Amino acid sequence: MSTILEKIAAIESEMARTQKNKATSAHLGLLKAKLAKLRRELISPKGGGGGTGEAGFEVAKTGDARVGFVGFPSVGKSTLLSNLAGVYSEVAAYEFTTLTTVPGCILYKGAKIQLLDLPGIIEGAKDGKGRGRQVIAVARTCNLIFMVLDCLKPLGHKKLLEHELEGFGIRLNKKPPNIYYKRKDKGGINLNCMVPQSELDTDLVKTILSEYKIHNADITLRYDATSDDLIDVIEGNRIYIPCIYLLNKIDQISIEELDVIYKIPHCVPISAHHHWNFDDLLEMMWEYLRLIRIYTKPKGQLPDYSSPVVLHNERTSIEDFCNKLHRSIAKEFKYALVWGSSVKHQPQKVGIEHVLNDEDVVQIVKKV
């Protein structure tokens, strides 16, 4: 493992020494590709040998969504979980109080949301320091990340944490690159650029692909992409997760400093100890999770508003709704009656392809 770490350190120092200009762009692209390959090896080693015997931090997934708390030690993650979910997570005045994942669950707008208090991570966590790799592996399974920061400490900590997560293949508040990539058996590298490119050209693309031993592929760049974007697409193991930055301990700063903090994007200032600004935090959490609620209506009865069926924003058809209830319903489905903003008439008869909106009411009619 140390040899991989040494190789990574050597490449990073060479990249730091190299000037960025047109002449060195191919060389830098090659170094970036080598670095990405070594990082992948670090995440999932090649050898299929026995495990080290260290237990991971994985917790069974429950509820409609999962939110992970990531941050340096002693920033208030456990206090926040205790006060949000009412679950006891040990709190003390020393670092690394939390040594395993502590799960909690809250009910917000009818949706069950699982909260995970993860152990604190330190600089170098992506390389395995302080069991950081197991912590970040659990963070990869979350639908949303709460990055808890101490507003009394420098904001450079935000950059450090982002660097640790990026090194493990997590991309925060980003969309997957709009690049079409397909490997072929023959025909060489075929590059199409729909817009003028400032960084990538055919030679640089070929250099990066040759590092992965790919000599035949179709690539379409639909926007001004960077070499990092291309490497992300080739690697194919990147995860794109929304992230909210929680600046904790605002009870110890002035109003003027708070005004400055509010201007940081994707950020909510809170005080976990005094329960300040939790409603703003939960509202922002709901917005970033992009969940929608669908109410069920049995025939001849009033809709059941107490327990909605919660779907993710990208999977909101009647078929997804049926599968969430039970797999057999979609097979016996005849049509559905829908009340709400997704239809013109109240109620309206719709098929299995119909896309639902938030807070629609659905009644399913089965085949006889």
Q: What is the mean pLDDT of each run of 10 residues along the chain (368 residues)?
A: 76 85 83 83 58 60 87 82 80 68 86 86 67 79 89 84 85 90 88 88 87 89 89 88 89 85 86 86 90 90 89 88 88 91 91 91 89
**Contacts with 341 (C-beta within 8 Å, 6 or more apart), sequence order:** 357, 358, 359, 360
In whole angstroms, give the CA distance from residue 268 to residue 291: 20
Residue 360's pLDDT is 92
| DSSP SS3 for 204 | helix
Tokens of 135: 């912590």
Residue 51's pLDDT is 46
| DSSP SS3 for 234 | helix
Residue 161's pLDDT is 87
Residue 124's pLDDT is 67
Give long-range contacts, CB 8 A cutoff, 24+ apart: 157-163: 157/72, 158/245, 160/123, 161/70, 161/71, 161/72, 161/121, 163/126
Q: Which amino acid is at 4?
A: I
Total Cβ atoms within 10 A of residue 36: 23
Q: Which 8-state DSSP code applies to residue 138?
A: H
Delineate the domains of the chain, giving CATH numbers in brackets. 4-43+177-237 (no CATH), 65-173+240-288 (3.40.50.300), 291-366 (3.10.20.30)
Through-space distance between the first and last CA atoms of the chain, rounded to whole angstroms: 62
**Contacts with 167 (C-beta within 8 Å, 6 or more apart), sequence order:** 39, 126, 127
In whole angstroms, give the CA distance from residue 272 to residue 302: 40
